[in-house]
Chains A and B, each alone.
Chain A
Amino acid sequence: MLMRENCGKSRRGKKKRVRKERKRKVWVSLWQRTMAREFGEPGGVECSKVKKRTKKKNKKENKTRIVFSNILHDHGKGRDNPNRHYANNEIKTTKYTLLSFLPKNLFEQFHRYANVYFVFIALLNFVPVVNAFQPELALAPVLFILSVTAIKDLWEDYRRHRSDKEINHMDCLVYSRRERRYVEKYWKEVHVGDFIRLRCNEILPADVLLLSSSDPDHLCHIETATLDGETNLKQRQVVRSFIDQDSDFEPSRYNSIIECEKPNNDLNRFRGYIAHGNGRRDGLYKENLLLRGCTVRNTEEAVGIVIYAGHETKAMLNNNGPRYKRSKLERQMNVDVFWCVVILLIMCLFSAIGHGLWMFQYGDQRPVFDVLSPEGTDMSPALSAIYLFLTMIIVFQVLIPISLFVSIEIVKICQVYFIHQDSDLYDEETDSPLQCRALNITEDLGQVQYIFSDKTGTLTENKMVFRRCAVAGVEYSHDANARRLATYQEIDSEEEECTSRGGTLPRRDSVTSHQSGRVVLRSQSTKSHRRTGSRAEAKRASILSKHTAFSSPMEKDITPDPQLLDKVNECSIQPLGQLTHELSDIMEFFIALTICNTVVVSSPSHPRQKVRTRFELKSPVKTIEDFIKRFTPSRLTSGSNSSSSSSLAAGRSAHKPGSESALLRLEEEQHSARRADLQSAFGPAPPAAEEGELRYEAESPDEAALVYAARAYKCSLVGRLPDQVTVELPHLGRLHFELLHTLSFDSTRKRMSVVVRHPLTDQITVYTKGADSAIMDLIRPPSSSDTKSKRQRKILYKTQNFLNLYAASGLRTLCIAKKALSEEEYGAWLNSHLQAETAIQGREELLFQSAVRLETNLHLLGATGIEDRLQDGVPETIASLRKAGLQIWVLTGDKQETAVNIAYACRLLDPEEELIILNADTQEACAVLLEESLHYIQSKFLCDFPEHTARALRDDIRALEVPPALVHRLGLVIDGRTLAYALEGSLEDRFLAVARSCRSVLCCRSTPLQKSMVVKLVRNKLKVMTLAIGDGANDVSMIQVADVGIGISGQEGMQAVMASDFTIPRFQYLQKLLLVHGHWCYSRLANMILYFFYKNAMFVALIFWYQFYSGFSGSAMIDQWYLIFFNLMFSAFPQLITGTLDKDVSAETLQDLPQLYMNGQNSEEYKPYMFWMNMIDAFYQSVVCFFIPYFAYADSDVDLFTWGTPITTLALFTILLHLSIETKTWTWLNWASIVFSVSLFFTVALCYSASCPICYPPSNPYWTMHRLLGDPLFYLLCVITPVVALLPRYFYRACQGSVFPSLIQVGRQLDKLSPESRTGMLDQRAMCGAKLPLYPFPGPLPKDYNPSAQEPHLCKRWESTKDSKQPIDQLRPGPTPQVTDSKEADLNQSVPAASRDRTPPRSEDPRSKAPALPPCNALQFDPALDSPDFKIVNWIPSSPFPQRDSVPLMPLYACDLLSARRGQGSRTPNGPDCVEAEDLGSPKEGFLTTTLL
């Protein structure tokens, strides 16, 4: 019964992952049989027997899919086809059908409470006793709103339908049972179980199991860009059992049964079994599955059987539409909508009570004007009060802004449109504009307070450039390469300009949307390629390659380090056995670089065609040995390998003849002829130009960089097959490594290994490559104390030092190690590994353990430093975002040193900042560290009270809104382990307290889960708006947790993009997206929402006042038509225009003055009190609009509606003028919309009152408007009422603009200036390091301080010096370097030994080393590059005044509080300026210094 248990277990395991699907009882038994057999144990049959008996009862157990060939069962006759239950390939992403549209759409719309409310009110109107309007009319607004939404939905659905149709009608070749050949069919006619023939460049119509490929290696290459955005080719293998079949695959002979998982959305997993007629079974893996939406490349033809079709394909299951988030503003708005409801109820209650009392005062005597109920019955005051309450709800319904919801949606769509259209957010290089995936959180962009950023690929380009390496304890700095890179940078930028000017854009298909529509897009492009032929294709591919990360010349051409090249040459002229340890290490190092990866080689002339050079390795060991023996002498004598390689080529008869190989051979000969010259010259020209035509495509850019690096030393990867790697080595020619295993990279192990049979030594060799932390621990410790191990230890020590050094200069470090296995060891491991591979349960876990078992006792070969270059404009963007008051946290998986240095490079950390480094090994240590950091911060900043207030004063804008915790000039660095402790419940708060008072936070070595936990913590505990930005799959969780998730459509696939709300092509675009669009969207919407509340309240209050004069009877003087259409028609357009187009400050100023962004952060446009202020203003205005006509018409013969119409008109005028006051930018659209509104009102009113003398009871407005237009009183009212109504607001705005202008208003004044004077102004600020004189001064001022008198004076002085840089330069040699040096010295002494011990040993003492480092070009700010924005960056007062002696040295706490001096004294561009300003000795020095600090 063990087996029985087994069966159950495996099922349970599956149950978890597998989606629910229809039950298929018939196949239960079969499944059970196959399952049982799959275990391969004798008990299997029993198990199946047992199960057979209970098959009927166990329907639920059916958790797999069984696929038969459709050849056996005619699909046309359906009935008996076993696959008939599976979804066919027709996709239908539409929500509605023609019939279901109305009910379904209505049903969906009624999920909105607002809609239900309005329908309720409309229905209430049908009750005669409470109705206020004509029931039919009352339905109008609701129907209008519903139909607008319905039309929108319908249109969207129609678009989906069209794209579906297009996709469904794409062609593919399907094997026809009747015709016994492949016939063209539409995609939608494809069924599960069909055989499909795929040709090169075709898109896969469904998830297909690969059964045959024209590729001699039984491979099929696919490009998965549409699924995950990765443009490199992926190999897929033919199902193992079909590899062995020699003849071509013939569907009619296929009689196997496939059993696999139920459809699920995991792109990286597929498991199943194929059972053949002869009883043979084979496992199916994701390598066998071709996914829908991918493109077949490099493979002439492939045949497969459809496993999942249509909606059950993995691509479709991953398709989960746009996301719905509710923005902060909307949440706030909903609170106020609730208040509106309260106000409404109060008003209704008031009216109801009033009506009751009014009725009551008449007692039994019924006045003639008090009409009985329609039934003719008398109503008691109480009853009629209750009825009236309901009536009033109808009358006052406008108070709940029905159109607000629709308007907001419209405005947001327009905003999204404009963001899409911004050409500044468009990246020419990749032809990718910004994409908004979430349509309803545009305004959240303007309120972000915390940014959580990934590092790799987000801040950096994720273009890896090989920079340095250390082999066998010797460092090769590759200086020439560094110089070359420096020149590349310049060329690059020039090229960019050229392309942008030339306008011929290289285009790369980028994935535009998640919808299946993109499949069409792709197919079209592919089709066009097919048509235009191979040339176009080649061109496209070259473009493609040009823009893939891994093949730009920068990364490809590596100038070898002369020293290392020497050594490489040296080892190639010596016999292999006699190599010194160092030289053999060097050899092995390069071999490891070349083969320890998953890089695919493709050839130049046939893009995307892999190089096929295959040797039949029947007995590789022998032949290679022979080969070595044979050729070593000749090599020695000739010094050239031309003969060897040619004889190799000639000698291998199995070498498939092909043009490529011939070509290569030829090239090689040319090469070797030239090599002598090259070697003597150590010229920088790598062989890339000729043979380098081979292109490498790697899944990770690091790998490609390493392979290219190795190629620079003539160790080039020539070909890669599943079981063999071909490498060309200098003087050895081509070697074929038998690839035994590839233990692929995973983030837990942080390393990958390949197991090969070394052709030279015939040893089983493991090459491992991985993060230094992962590798260094696995190095075999030198045991004895003989010279060898001593040397070994020394190498280890040195390498560790170099690793630290690399990390300190911001390089990504990798360690390369190897291990030789004896056959027995290998055999033992292989055994267990095979078990793991074939295990059914926990296969991943077993494989992992197996890999760990193998990767031990390694021999260290060397280490590499790869640079991940910063993206353009990242430091500037970060500086500007920080000035905007955004807290930027970087969460990265990189190691601490690398992360810290990148942080310095991108100005996230400032050299002047102190750094708190938290590294703890235990929970307690973490607690202590946090506690002490907190103490330190408090003692340093908070307790120093005068200092503190001075800070508040000088932090000019920040002081306006004193944040709960002041942000200090501190940087926090925390590593993953400590973070894990800090995120635990008890320490959370302390961690946050520390982190929030630091200006920048850097979390290193953090896992994706930690990233999201940090974001969640900050979001929930600090109640702030968070933005997460990242580009990789490891950022997805963080992006999803944050309020705003931004994906970078970069190198690392599309997962982040799919999860994000917005997608930008580059990090630097974040600046404009947030500072400009975010600000605009926020302020537009905030103002619009407030205006809406005001407008509705104002209009409704008019009627409320009237109740006092109509016996609280619910009577309205405003015609019901006006009442209902006022919001929908007359006053709707201007606010939409303003809400869409209004710009309070121009884009330029917003970017020049990032402080303006704080406006949104602090929700200054829409604070809770503003709602009430608006309400009060609304009530005031309505009082004016009501009582001026009231008194003007008091005791006159005016009738109800002749009096009410002017009030409507006045209200309209007042409302429009109110909007005019609030409108900041008047384009012709604003004018047009207002003119349109007014004329629409009069046109409608005139038509309405002329249309019908007896209609529209009870108002019956016949000729009312016409008479009014002839009445001078009407015009007199129209003039005076809006003036009186808007006087307070207008006056207040004017005063505010003068007396206490908001920052925004200051920005607007800056806008007014001519561009020159504006930049002059900003420059001045920069020069003075002080506020502009026009700035309002927050907080108390020095009494005798007169800004207008003194500051311009100061600035003037600066202007005079501005033109000639001379005086500045003279002043420059200030105390900065000295002070820093001395301080650093102090620090180094003051850091207690204990704290050093606490840091991990390998990162030991980086700070004493770091300053001595030669400056790294990549990290050093090019001064020329820096100077243009130099001023803008520095004029913000919050930039530091670096070394004031008042800064106390930190106390000697156990925690690692470090000053952030890292020897970048030259990176303090702001220093001199500030010093100068102080040196100026202005009369108000006290003020100046405070602003400077």
Chain B
Amino acid sequence: MMASSYNAKEEDGHHSGASGPGGGTAVKSKKPDNTAFKQQRLPAWQPILTAGTVLPAFFVIGLIFIPIGIGLFVTSNNIKEYEIDYTGIEMSSPCFNCSQNFSWNSTTPCKCSVSFSLDQPFESNVFMYYGLSNFYQNHRRYVKSRDDSQLNGDKASLTNPSKECEPYRTSDKKFIAPCGAIANSLFNDTLDLFFIDPNGTRTRIELVKKGIAWWTDKHVKFRNPGGNNLNLTAVFIDTAKPVNWRKPVYELDTDQENNGFINEDFIVWMRTAALPTFRKLYRIIQRKNSMTPTLPRGNYTLDITYNYPVRSFEGRKRMILSTISWMGGKNPFLGIAYITVGSVCFFLGVVLLIIHHKYGNRNNSADIPN
């Protein structure tokens, strides 16, 4: 990268250490030891940054980055993604009614369905996300508002959760399980996807709800209290459900493997998003066989049980279908960035080349001993 030449001439400072006063004299001289370290003569590499020496680095960066960028860009472009906003802000939206009327206090769920069509088939496993915008899951007090040991199945914490959960710690003189604002604001819309055959029949697409959370979360971090006690109801008997929840935590799913604190939807939600616009994995649509695409092109209907009000904070709700690649979801940014940076480096390399030609002679003449 940089100009390199090891300075060997300074290595001669090495031999010594014992070149003090001759042996036998008991008197210790105050003469400093003549070691390379103490005399600051350690062999060293002394790069000098000049146009000439730096130039190769720029070209090398350019040459490496541009191909990487192109690769990334192509990869990203090959990812298929479909996004549909079902917030229901516009009058035309099928969920308009739901969004207008619904609040946390509503008791009856509101249902709406959105139709859409895919122009291209989604070949591999398709990941179904729900996306929220303008939802500050990274708010400082929100992020803190949880009790990890409670979620880890700690019985003591179950009945006496951390103070951090305030003000979502108690409800009706019972401790809330799971406590805290994060749990309280759990996303509770239910999404169902139907394929509309050209002949008009609705085929329900099987959505896998397991495997959407981190393995370590599901198996280590989150645990139901009482271990493998199947009777979750009994375990949670002394606790209250979070204020905004319709049903208690032990009724999140019928599958005992996915119920209580180890409900994967719940776990995914508890992993707070970094940015106010985020998506969270909702379901996975497994590819059945290699012959047919997971989601063939055609018309689809998304049935929504509209439980989650976002209008108060001007949020948006989306459903995203996406395939993924080795580098994750569709994001052309990194590819473009690599290409741009590579080009810039290449350009700067050329500039440096010019500078080097214009001014470098002087340095050369200095470097060349005459």
A residues adjacent to B (C-beta < 8 A)? 132, 362, 365-376, 391, 418, 420-423, 426, 428, 431-433, 502-505, 507, 512, 528, 1080, 1109-1111, 1113-1117, 1141, 1143, 1146-1147, 1188, 1190-1204, 1221, 1224-1229, 1253-1255, 1257-1258, 1260, 1262-1263, 1267, 1271-1273, 1276-1277, 1279-1280, 1283-1284, 1287, 1290-1291, 1293-1299, 1301, 1305-1306, 1308-1318, 1320-1321, 1324, 1332-1334, 1347-1348, 1352, 1355-1356, 1359
Contact = CB atoms under 8 A, between A and B. Distances in A.
B74 to A, nearest CB: 14
A1199 B25 contact: no
Given A371-B145, A371-B181, A1263-B216, A505 B136 contact: no
Contact of B278 (A374, A1147, A1196): A1196
A502 B23 CA distance: 11
A264 to B, nearest CB: 33
**Which of B29, B138, B272, B356 has its CB near the most chain A CB atoms (within 10 A)?**
B138
B324 to A, nearest CB: 10
Contacts, number: 339
Contacts of A1271: 328
A1229 B152 CA distance: 45
Contact of B138 (A1115, A1190, A1193, A1293): A1115
B148 A1260 contact: yes
Nearest to A1106: B138
Given A504-B22, A1196-B328, 15 more contacts: A365-B313, A368-B104, A369-B181, A418-B38, A422-B32, A431-B29, A1113-B139, A1253-B220, A1254-B152, A1258-B144, A1262-B216, A1283-B61, A1291-B58, A1295-B355, A1352-B370
B167 A374 contact: yes
B188 to A, nearest CB: 11
Contact of A1199 (B30, B54, B149, B272): B272
A1253 B38 CA distance: 48
B42 A1196 contact: no
Lowest 7 CB-CB distances: which A-B pairs, in order? Answer: A1317-B369, A1334-B366, A376-B167, A1203-B274, A367-B313, A1297-B50, A1294-B54
B9 interface: yes
A679 B326 CA distance: 109
Contacts of B47: 1224, 1226
B5 interface: yes
B142 A1226 contact: no
Nearest to B167: A376
B293 interface: no
Interface of B: 5, 7, 9-10, 19-22, 25-27, 29-34, 38-40, 42-55, 57-58, 61, 65, 68, 72, 104, 129, 131, 135-149, 151-152, 154, 162-164, 166-168, 181, 184-185, 214, 216-217, 220-221, 244, 268, 271-281, 312-313, 315, 326-329, 331, 333-334, 337-338, 341, 344-345, 348, 352, 355-356, 359-363, 365-367, 369-370
Given A503-B21, A1295-B51, A423 B42 contact: no
B333 A1194 contact: yes
Contacts of B272: 1199-1200
Contacts of B313: 362, 365, 367-369
Contacts of A1298: 50-52, 352, 355-356, 359-360, 363
Contacts of B46: 1224-1226, 1308, 1311-1312
Contacts of A1295: 51, 352, 355
Contact of A1272 (B5, B221, B326): B326
Nearest to B52: A1298
Nearest to B162: A1257
28 contacts: A369-B313, A370-B142, A376-B166, A421-B38, A422-B40, A433-B31, A503-B21, A1110-B138, A1113-B136, A1115-B139, A1146-B10, A1191-B334, A1200-B138, A1226-B45, A1254-B152, A1258-B143, A1262-B216, A1262-B220, A1276-B72, A1284-B341, A1297-B48, A1308-B46, A1316-B369, A1333-B362, A1347-B362, A1352-B365, A1352-B370, A1356-B370
A1404 B184 CA distance: 103
A290 B22 CA distance: 38
A132 B49 contact: no
B165 to A, nearest CB: 9
Nearest to A435: B30
Contacts of A1191: 331, 333-334, 337
A1115 B144 CA distance: 10
Nearest to A1203: B274
Contact of B329 (A374, A503, A1196): A1196
B139 A370 contact: yes
A459 B120 CA distance: 91
Given A1309-B48, A1333-B366, A1200 B143 contact: yes
A368 B244 contact: yes
Contacts of B333: 1191-1192, 1194
Contacts of B278: 1195-1198
B5 A1312 contact: yes
Contacts of A1287: 341, 344-345, 348
Nearest to A532: B26
A1334 B365 contact: yes
A369 B135 contact: yes
A1348 B361 contact: yes
A526 B131 CA distance: 87
B349 to A, nearest CB: 10
A903 B334 CA distance: 70
Contacts of B362: 1333-1334, 1347-1348
Given A132-B140, A1262-B220, A428 B366 contact: no
Given A1109-B276, A1196-B328, A1334 B181 contact: no
B306 to A, nearest CB: 15
A1114 B144 CA distance: 12
A426 B31 contact: yes
Nearest to A132: B140
B166 to A, nearest CB: 5
Contacts of A420: 32
Contacts of B42: 1141, 1227-1229
Contacts of A1309: 48, 363, 366-367
B289 to A, nearest CB: 27
A1308 B38 CA distance: 21
A507 B27 contact: yes
Contact of B139 (A1111, A1260, A1280, A1297): A1111
A1313 B32 contact: no
Contact of A372 (B146, B167, B363): B167
Contact of B277 (A1195, A1291, A1301): A1195
A368 B185 contact: yes
Contacts of A1195: 131, 275, 277-279
A1259 B131 CA distance: 22
Nearest to A377: B167
A365 B366 CA distance: 72
Given A1200-B272, A1257-B148, A504 B38 contact: no
A1260 B221 CA distance: 9
Given A367-B312, A369-B181, A1227-B42, A1263 B214 contact: yes
Given A418-B38, A1283-B61, A1297 B136 contact: no
A1314 B369 contact: yes
A1318 to B, nearest CB: 8
A916 B151 CA distance: 89
Contacts of A1321: 366, 369
Contacts of A372: 166-167
B140 A1294 contact: no
B103 to A, nearest CB: 10
B144 A1257 contact: yes
A1074 to B, nearest CB: 16
Given A365-B312, A369-B139, A1141-B40, A1258 B275 contact: no
Contacts of B341: 1280, 1283-1284, 1287
